[in-house]
Structure 1
């Protein structure tokens, strides 16, 4: 098990007197608090959070559980339900753990091989996997009645992990090269073209029973940019640039002229055009896709994500609803567990336009590449002042509310994964470098009209 031990020194000074004298007044003092440096704090959070994907992974498949509840109580007996997209984040997290020495390269390679073998035998739908999979059987677990087939967005998150693993292992030992090749084959088997449904856009779902009835076209802006990048990068089933420009960018209608707190939003955030959407929109697509110096004719992607994050932060500082604790060291609205009006635990896409008084630690932590000072302040506040309530076996719990004195002492893969990946990208840029230097990724981005000064195209 991945564990962190932080030693605190305790000094107690006892008054001394000779026999028969009245004892001195107690001179015991409170133990001094030894604060972690920023680097120690980041390392602590990154390592502890990796436990989600290592110690608490679904045992048969090695994949990331959709959720982990330390109390062992799960709805609908879904302790063995694994998540496709969250496992893609987990693949990157495992690479990070190997590179940091949290786990050995041999251990990591063995786990990655197990995952590759499971996915090769799991249900697929024109090469794509379903949103949820039964970790015991590899069979689809429907996300909804008609959502019982391929989920292209979740598959794109998974595929970004494939490429990252492939690039990390491709020049290693014979065993590492063999695992690298397995992930390459899984990547090449995804039929992105199928999911256009013969139109100039991508669609989220296809079902063998309900065909295209979900009818959810991927139009920006939200978390789905990476889906178009992966589809354009495919060496076997690529989409045409027209799908990106006409579908995702809506023939240019994706561009926004709005500002908030004097910061341009740059792109129209679907359903959240005043403040921007939940912060996972600045994370999921950019775990491998490096927004530094990345542009196309619609946006500068560093400015897009940096502004989005700062707007979310400034909203917490302004705190128009006067929720307790909101401010410079307690902020971050994104999708996570939430507190329902009846005080039960639910799930909600928190954002300034849907603020329920609940912050999600992943929102600020995964934004560290954009707002390092503000993100570290959140981590330090939670760890030093609210550790008992917010810190557990796999890092910070999923959601917290000082307003309601409430914490969801549970974890979600899609929240824990971005924390590890973005902490690593902040420290070394490793996952960005692996993904962006993959030849087909570069070519796919070029085909869509992207430019990157950092990677030379």
Structure 2
């Protein structure tokens, strides 16, 4: 009975969450709204996640194959023909794309950066769509051809800006950003895609330079490759099945990145049980600390304790920042790693905290049981007003990977991913069978 309720609940959550991509879209160009606030732009990361979600929707009966093909083609065609160049109002440059794009025109907004990581998420979505829509029919052939063209024109070498590791991005006003992808994080996917390119690949030395900045920790009885926000242990795993495959670093530690994410998930739960800062709500079934928006900036005195609350910040475990804000989506995104603790936490969020009750698309972005929120709010504590595409996608995709491994199987057939993994030094597991 309990298992059946969990299965039904996950089906409903996946369906409600996917509705975001059906509704928060410009169907003419496939761009997905970053956030459900009025007049908000698209984000390329959300759009890439949508491309990966359409195959799941077809498999689960949430969208017809024909409708999914049409939506996917509209998206890929837009990016193929949209302006690429150094002009400040282009869509992208050097095969990368600006973080935020106008929903109608697809041009850059807010003087945002050309984002290497968000471009990688978009390209991963395009490649997974190409792997799924592989029929001989003309429109599906075009999906594969356009996705291939978009990937091949990305100039990963340019993004190094003459150094060993990849930069975070570039703007036409000031050039390359000063930050680089160093330390273990979601850039695992970025480096693999960059290494796999047949046209402008990263050098293998760039991966070694990146992994040399890793930080190994022991926390709450778990030894693991540290990254504080939980999402950093998840986003690359949305697409790539790291079970049983190892690079040089993981061979030296005797585990793989999947096991590492399992440990990071358990550290989150152990931290919530320990609750060193004594926030309301934290317990074995209520956790999930990651980069998210929050109820701040504000300082409130609550039950005699002065509490500082933040807005958007990279919250993390165990060193913080931590202001009592939790993100239910990041709990769901750990489902393949640790279902024995994740299902309990999802059940709490849905049935006890009732965090889906008033929401059109499943979970809102974040909640904070310590902060009282606005007077008269239905929860009695702060809950975000918004849904974000970047949160919605991993819910749909990681539920599916937990059930069927669909996205993982699709990406195992992508020659660029296989090449990138091998050039990064991965071997073993399913890679042995790939040619």
Q: 1:98 to 1:172 in 2, by over 3 A?
A: farther
Shift of 1:323: 1.8
Aligned to 2:233: 282
Aligned to 1:433: 409
Aligned to 1:261: 220
1:434 is paired with a residue whose SS is helix
After superposition, the CA RMSD in angstroms is 2.1
Q: 1:133 aligns with which of 101, 117, 131?
A: 101
Q: Is 1:245 paired with 2:215? A: no
Deviation per CA, 1:52-98, whole angstroms, max 9, x where unpaired? Answer: 111222444322211014xxxx3xxx42x111112111211122111
Give TM-score, length-normalised by structure 2: 0.87
Q: 1:374 aligns with which of 313, 326, 341?
A: 341
Aligned to 1:383: 350
Q: 1:409 to 1:452 in 2, by over 3 A?
A: farther
Q: Is 1:117 paired with 2:77? A: yes
1:129 is paired with a residue whose SS is strand
**2-structure distance, mates of 1:395, 1:68:** 13
- Does structure 1 conserve the Cα–Cα contact (< 8 Å) formed by 2:297 and 2:310? no
**1-structure distance, mates of 2:245, 2:109:** 37
Shift of 1:380: 1.2
Aligned to 2:280: 324
Structure 2 residue runs of 5 or longer lacking an equivalent are 83-90, 251-255, 300-308, 372-380
Give TM-score, length-normalised by structure 1: 0.83
Aligned to 1:351: 316
Aligned to 2:374: none
2:293 is paired with a residue whose SS is strand
- Does structure 1 conserve the Cα–Cα contact (< 8 Å) formed by 2:98 and 2:115? yes
Shift of 1:345: 8.4
Q: 1:85 to 1:304 in 2, by over 3 A?
A: same
2:334 is paired with a residue whose SS is coil
Shift of 1:441: 1.2
- 1:107-186 matches, cutoff 5 A: 107-122=67-82, 123-142=91-110, 144=112, 147=113, 150-186=114-150
Aligned to 2:23: 55
Aligned to 2:197: 234
Structure 1 residue runs of 5 or longer lacking an equivalent are 1-32, 270-275
Which range moved further: 419-428 or 288-297? 288-297
Bigger radius of gyration among the two? 1
Aligned to 2:43: 83
Shift of 1:172: 4.7
Shift of 1:177: 1.7
Shift of 1:388: 6.3
Q: 1:34 to 1:155 in 2, by over 3 A?
A: closer
- Does structure 1 conserve the Cα–Cα contact (< 8 Å) formed by 2:10 and 2:399? yes
Q: Is 1:334 paired with 2:290? A: yes
Q: 1:390 to 1:234 in 2, by over 3 A?
A: farther
Deviation per CA, 1:2-54, whole angstroms, max 9, x where unpaired? Answer: xxxxxxxxxxxxxxxxxxxxxxxxxxxxxxx9996111111111111001111
Aligned to 2:363: 396
- Does structure 2 conserve the Cα–Cα contact (< 8 Å) formed by 1:89 and 1:418? yes
- Does structure 1 conserve the Cα–Cα contact (< 8 Å) formed by 2:285 and 2:341? yes
**2-structure distance, mates of 1:438, 1:153:** 19
Shift of 1:160: 0.7
1:451 is paired with a residue whose SS is coil
- Does structure 1 conserve the Cα–Cα contact (< 8 Å) formed by 2:30 and 2:75? yes
**1-structure distance, mates of 2:431, 2:404:** 16
- Does structure 2 conserve the Cα–Cα contact (< 8 Å) formed by 1:295 and 1:450? yes
**1-structure distance, mates of 2:291, 2:44:** 17
Shift of 1:391: 4.7
**2-structure distance, mates of 1:261, 1:173:** 53
Aligned to 2:56: 96
**1-structure distance, mates of 2:427, 2:106:** 39
Deviation per CA, 1:83-138, whole angstroms, max 9, x where unpaired? Answer: 11121112111221112111110111111111112212332211111111112112
**2-structure distance, mates of 1:372, 1:112:** 31
2:313 is paired with a residue whose SS is strand
**2-structure distance, mates of 1:382, 1:207:** 40
